Amino acid sequence: MVNTKVDLCGIQIDNPIIPASGTFGFGYEFAYNYDINMLGTFSFKGTTKDPRFGNPTPRIAETPSGMLNSVGLQNPGVDKVISEELPRLKSCFKKPVMANVSGFSVEDYAYTCEKLDAEEQIGWFEINVSCPNVHGGGLAFGTDPKNVAAVTKAVKKITNKPVIIKLSPNVTDITEIAKTCEAEGADGVSLINTLLGMRINPKTRKPILANTFGGLSGPAVFPVALRMIYQVYNAVNIPIIGMGGVSTAEDVIEMMLAGATAVEVGAANLVDPFACKNIIEDLPKVMEKYKINSLSEIIGGAHNG
């Protein structure tokens, strides 16, 4: 019998599969399709201090082996997440959940996290300093080590729950940002967020996305994500959540060998709502195929060969 359990920042989860923020809503939407308690956990919709309508449409564009999104952190705001979304989630998900938080200032991040900190069901904070399609926030924070340090420090002050910083790949050296997070007390890092990209309509000769640029996700980014996870594993001593183009159990094994403790699945959920369910069910067979008895034993295994 194989063991799929892993320890994520001091909390044991049944398997390393985590639907990524922005691709799984607040969870209960997917509970109509299958029992989401089979997940390790999931990262809920990126939440900000105030409600956000998001960017103008069109804000989705297809690409070869992936997609561009410029949704712009549409969400009801932290107060409604607490009063409406979390009670709905509690009715169908009995495990700790990961709260994904975004902001436009250090104070925004701290305020939103402090509000959510009181919610018993929240097990981890995933702090998004890396959204590439929001003006005035996100990418501006994630590409500057000083800003990342300030956000990390502020959030760590108001919570004893694990704080995981979500890193941007749109930087020269992602290990520098990861080291900054670790130095300021982050309990883990998650990577990668989407790569900045665009599409142009030849007929109109204009960008397809109303925001011009968007975040590229899907299988096209998997090799880039894998490389960055491998690099960051060598640079820090805190857990890594890997993500970027994951769609199969074999992808999960690769990311864990590169150094990930857990793995988020993003765009695949938008293609197939059963993507995470299928990966979890396939994991034991893939583990047996590669003679893996316990997933926790292979974390960073590619560095030993």
C-alpha distances in angstroms, 141 versus 127, 167, 190, 267? 11, 10, 15, 23
Question: Residue 143: what pLDDT?
Answer: 82
Return the pLDDT at 215.
93
Determine contact, residues 33/17, Cβ cutoff 8 Å: no
C-alpha gyration radius of the chain: 18
pLDDT at 9: 98
* pLDDT value for 305: 64
Paired residues of 18 in beta bridges: 264
Res 214: pLDDT: 93
pLDDT recorded at residue 144: 86
β-strands 17-19, 11-13: how paired? unpaired
Structure confidence at residue 36 (pLDDT): 98
CA dihedral (169, 173, 179, 180) positive or negative: negative
Per-residue pLDDT tens listing for the chain (305 residues): 899 999 999 999 999 999 999 999 999 999 999 999 999 999 999 999 999 998 999 999 999 999 999 998 899 999 999 999 999 999 999 999 999 999 988 999 999 999 999 999 999 999 999 765 444 444 566 788 999 999 999 999 999 999 999 999 999 999 999 999 999 999 999 999 999 999 999 999 999 999 999 999 999 999 999 999 999 999 999 999 999 999 999 999 999 999 999 999 999 999 999 999 999 999 999 999 999 999 999 999 999 86
Kindly name the residue from 9, 113, 131, 181 that is annotated as catalytic: 131
Q: How many residues are listed for the chain in this entry?
A: 305
User: Is 232 buried (19+), middle (13-18) or exposed (0-12) by CB count in 10 A?
Assistant: buried
6-303 — its CATH code?
3.20.20.70
pLDDT for the residue 139: 54
> What pLDDT is attached to residue 140?
60
Q: Is the peptide bond before 96 cis (omega within 30 degrees of 0)?
A: no
Copy the structure tokens of residue 79.
Answer: 């107060």
At residue 208, the pLDDT reads 97
Burial of 62 (0-12, 13-18, 19+ CB in 10 A): exposed
Q: How far apart are CA 242 and CA 246, in angstroms?
A: 9
Residue 71 identity (one-letter amino acid): V
Tell me how many degrees the CA angle 64-268-195 measures, rounded to the nearest 5: 55
**H or E segment at 89?**
helix 86-90
Going from N- to C-terminal start, the domains of the chain cover 6-303
H-state helical runs in 184-304: 222-235, 249-258, 268-271, 275-289
Per the annotation, the verdict on 276 as an active-site residue is: no
Contact 143, 171 (CB under 8 A): yes
Q: How far apart are CA 79 and CA 36, in angstroms?
A: 24
DSSP string, 220-255: GGHHHHHHHHHHHHHH-SS-EEEESS--SHHHHHHH
Query: What H or E segment, with its residue span, contains residue 196?
Result: strand 195-197
Which pLDDT score is estimated for 201? 96
